[in-house]
Amino acid sequence: MRVACIGECMIELSEQFDGSLVRGFGGDTLNTALYLARLGVAVDYVTALGDDAWSDEMAAAWGREGIGLGQVRRLPGRMPGLYIIRTDAAGERSFHYWRDQAAARDLFVEPGAAETRAAVATYDLVYVSGISLSLYGESGRAALFETLGALRARGGRVAFDTNYRPRGWPVREVAQAAFRTALALADLIFASVEDLDWLFGAAGVDEVLRHRGRAEIVLKGSTGPAPVARVLHGTSDTWVPAGPVARVVDTTAAGDSFAAGYLAARLAGLDPEAAAARAHRLAGAVIGHRGAVIPRAAMPDLDRPGAHS
C-alpha cells in the first residue's frame, strides 16, 4: 500500500507562557504523515522546500521519522513558510502566518510539476486537507484535482480532511467551490462540524452528508465537553465518543493525529468504529503535550487491551 500526504510544512515558533519561543516545524498534513509513519504506515510527503538550512533540517527530521522524501521538490532560492502558535490557558491555540512566498505554494507550478503530478497519480491512497487546497492558486488547485481524478480512475483512493482556516481564503465563495470539488473526489472524508459551520453556515453538515453511501465519512464534533466522532459507512451511522483525557495542554495537531490514527487502523483492516476509537486515543495523547509532535516515548500503545473501546 503506497500512501502519500500532500501539503506544506512550515517553521513553527511556539510561544511559551514566559513569552519565549521554541522553534520546531509543523503543518497539518505533515503532522498526519509523521504520525502515520510512527504507526508503521509507509508514507511519503509530497511538498516543495527551498535550498536553505531550515529546509535541509526539515527534510532530515522527516527522514529520521521514517517519512519518504522521494516526492519533496527543492526550489532554489526559496524558503519554507513561518507560523507562530499562541496557546491560551484552556489549551486553545491561535495561528499567525508568514507564508506568501513559501516554496510549497509552487508545488504544481513548472518546472517539475508534471513529474509531481505523474507520481501522485500512482499512489494507492492520497491524503489532502483544506489547508492543502488553500496553498495553491486556481490553476494549482485545478492541477491537483485533475491529478486526484487520475489516481481514482486507476483505482486509488483519496482522503480529504476539511481543516478550514478562513485566513487562507480571502474569498469565501472560492473556498466553498474548492471544498465541494474535494468532497466529491474523496473516498474518505474527515469533517469538523465547526469547520463546516464556518465555511457553509447552517447547511455545512448537509454538504458532507450528501456523500454518505458513496464515501466513508467521519464527522468530528462534541457532546458537552467530550469529543465524539460520527462514523458513516455504507448504511451504518455510529457515534464513537472519546475516552477521558487526563489534561488538555495544547490542541495543536489533535485533528491531524486523529486522521493518522484512523487511517492507520483502517489500512490495518480494523472496522471504522474501531478505527475511530484508536484515533481518539492517539489524539488524546497528543493534546496532553505542547506542540504538534509529541515525544516518541509519549506515543500510546494502541494495541493494548481496551484500545478499541
256 is catalytic: yes
Rg (CA), the chain: 18
Task: Identify the H or E element spanning 176.
Answer: helix 172-185
Q: Interhelix angle for 138-153 vs 113-120, to 10°?
A: 30
Q: What is the pLDDT of residue 94?
A: 81
Backbone φ and ψ for 125, nearest 5 degrees, come out as -145, 130
Q: What is the pLDDT of residue 91?
A: 67
Do 120 and 7 contact (CB within 8 A), yes or no?
no
**pLDDT of 81-135, one tens digit each?**
998 888 787 767 787 888 888 999 999 988 899 999 999 999 999 999 999 999 9
Ordered by where they begin, the domains of the chain are 3-172+245-298 (3.40.1190.20)
Report the length, in residues, of the chain.
Answer: 309
Confidence of residue 305 (pLDDT cuts 50, 70, 90): very low
Nearest to 71, CA basis, from 88, 87, 47: 47
**pLDDT of 31-72, one tens digit each?**
999 999 999 999 999 999 999 999 999 999 999 999 999 999
Distance between start and end Cα atoms, the chain: 27
**pLDDT of 226-281, one tens digit each?**
789 999 999 999 999 998 877 888 788 999 999 999 999 999 999 999 999 999 99
Q: 105: helix, coil or strand?
A: helix
Q: Match 480571502 to its residue by C-alpha cell.
A: 170
**pLDDT of 177-234, one tens digit each?**
999 999 999 999 999 999 999 999 999 999 999 999 999 999 999 766 678 999 999 9
DSSP 188: E
Query: Which is catalytic among the residues 56, 124, 256, 303?
Result: 256
Q: What is the pLDDT of residue 307?
A: 42
The C-alpha cell that represents 70 in the structure block: 522521494
Q: Match 506568501 to its residue by C-alpha cell.
A: 100
